[in-house]
């Protein structure tokens, strides 16, 4: 009888190991959700937009994108605008509302750091007269070819819009790239990291109070 104890203990241990393996097989690791993709959209780059762009000058389309959460469209144009007697490059994101394009255009002029550098330029929910947009983040990509936002629960990949020498020269700047992506509104409740595949190309958008309202970095 005593000689049977080692064999019995070995059998019990094997049963525990087999049971543990079976449990592990029954509970596979959670898969990470696929990234939210904002993609380039076709538009007449270089042409004048078919709607009024405030700020003067002769705006020209730089590129367009289809946003990854709402599926809605955003168009970017550029022009030279006068501020305090000096001319500055202006970038004009245009959002659709009430059945027409370019209904809400929160233009930005006079950029620091320069447009050739990576930076988040705005992070907000377009709301003035437009509906259905989520949290839109846009900025300049520097020399990067990929920009990704990382947040609790997932990632979002930006569309990249290149602005070559000819169009950049019309704005009085060096060639640059724009990026744009869209995040769920709930993401605004926690910090978001926006990172590009270039050196030192990372920026953090802090969490805000009152989730669902306009968010600015």
- Measured distance CA(71)–CA(51) in Å, rounded: 21
Residue 29's pLDDT is 55
Q: For residue 178, which of 78, 35, 54 has the smallest C-alpha distance?
A: 78
Give domain limits for the chain.
Answer: 36-205
161-168's contacts with Cβ under 8 Å and 24+ in sequence apart are 161/40, 161/62, 161/63, 161/64, 161/65, 161/76, 162/63, 163/62, 163/63, 163/78, 167/45, 167/46, 167/60, 167/62, 167/78, 168/115
Residue 64's pLDDT is 98
Residue 166's pLDDT is 94
Q: What is the separation, in whole angstroms, between the first and last Cα of the chain?
A: 76
Question: Secondary structure of the chain in the HEC alphabet?
Answer: CHHHHHHHHHHHHHHHHHHHHHHHHHCCCCCCCCCEECEEECCCCCCCCCCCCCCCCCCEEEEEEECCCCCCEEEEEEEEEEECCEEEEEEEEEEEECCEEEEECCCEECCCCCCCCEEEEEEECCCCCCCCCCEEEEEEECCCCCEEEEECCEEEECEEEEECHHHHHHCCCCCEEEEEEEECHHHHHCCEEEEECCCCCEEEECCCCCCCCCCCC
Residue 14's pLDDT is 41
Residue 57's pLDDT is 83
- Each residue's pLDDT tens digit, 69-121: 999 999 999 999 877 778 899 999 999 998 899 999 999 999 999 999 999 99
- Each residue's pLDDT tens digit, 25-36: 555 555 668 999
Residue 45's pLDDT is 97
Counting as low any pLDDT under 70, the low residues of the chain are: 1-32, 199, 209-217
């Amino acid at each position: 009888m005593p000689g049977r104890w080692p064999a019995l203990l070995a059998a019990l241990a094997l049963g525990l190991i087999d049971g543990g393996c079976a449990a592990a097989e029954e509970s596979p690791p959670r898969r990470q959700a696929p990234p939210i993709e904002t993609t380039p959209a076709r538009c007449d780059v270089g042409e004048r937009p078919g709607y009024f762009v405030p700020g003067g000058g002769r705006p020209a389309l730089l590129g367009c994108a289809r946003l990854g959460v709402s599926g809605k469209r955003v168009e970017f144009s550029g022009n030279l605008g006068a501020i305090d007697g000096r001319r500055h490059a202006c970038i004009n994101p245009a959002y659709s509302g009430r059945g027409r394009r370019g209904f809400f255009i929160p233009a930005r002029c006079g950029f620091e750091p320069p447009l050739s550098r990576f930076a988040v330029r705005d992070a907000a929910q377009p709301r003035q007269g437009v509906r259905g947009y989520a949290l839109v983040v846009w900025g300049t990509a520097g020399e990067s070819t990929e920009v990704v936002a990382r947040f609790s629960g997932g990632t979002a990949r930006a569309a990249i819009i290149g602005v070559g020498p000819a169009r950049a020269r019309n704005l009085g700047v060096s060639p640059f790239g724009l990026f744009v992506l869209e995040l769920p509104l709930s993401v605004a409740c926690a910090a978001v990291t926006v990172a590009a595949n270039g050196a030192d190309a990372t920026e953090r958008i802090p969490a805000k109070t009152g989730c669902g309202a306009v968010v600015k970095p």
